[in-house]
Amino acid sequence: MPPIRIPPIHCLQAFEALSRLRSVTLAAEELHVTPSAVSHRMRQLETLLGTRLFGRSDFSPSADGQAYLVQVRQDLQALAQMPGQRQATPSAARLRLAVTPTFSRAILMPRWPPFAAPGRRLNWCCRWPSRCWT
């Protein structure tokens, strides 16, 4: 039995965005990639699946593309709800810096107040030599 080939998630995300937006440019902007990357991802996905997913003129999903799109959307939604996939809120954001005391005092400390928003937890680590990561 040959191994099952699972499409790369970046291809599935590009497929979903292109199906929804019907524009390579808009899909590329949403995914923060180039339009060429979206096209390459669609070609990779279609090659892997062995079927055309879009009508090339207006990027409307083909019959196979429509059926596959339903499953892809459900699966991406399920992945988004998995533990550990939560978006960090600004109050839960963590900033860790390892700098020398001189740099800390001369550069960072004068610029620190804008980062200290109410409810935001900040940890400051300054040692010599800088060994905060161990």
Span 77-111, pLDDT tens digits: 988 886 654 555 554 556 666 677 787 778 877 87
Span 2-41, pLDDT tens digits: 777 889 999 999 999 999 999 999 999 999 999 999 999 9
Place of tokens 């080939």: 5
Determine contact, residues 30/20, Cβ cutoff 8 Å.
no
Closest by CA to 21, choosing from 10, 7, 35, 8, is 35
**What domains, with CATH codes, occur in the chain?**
9-80 (1.10.10.10)
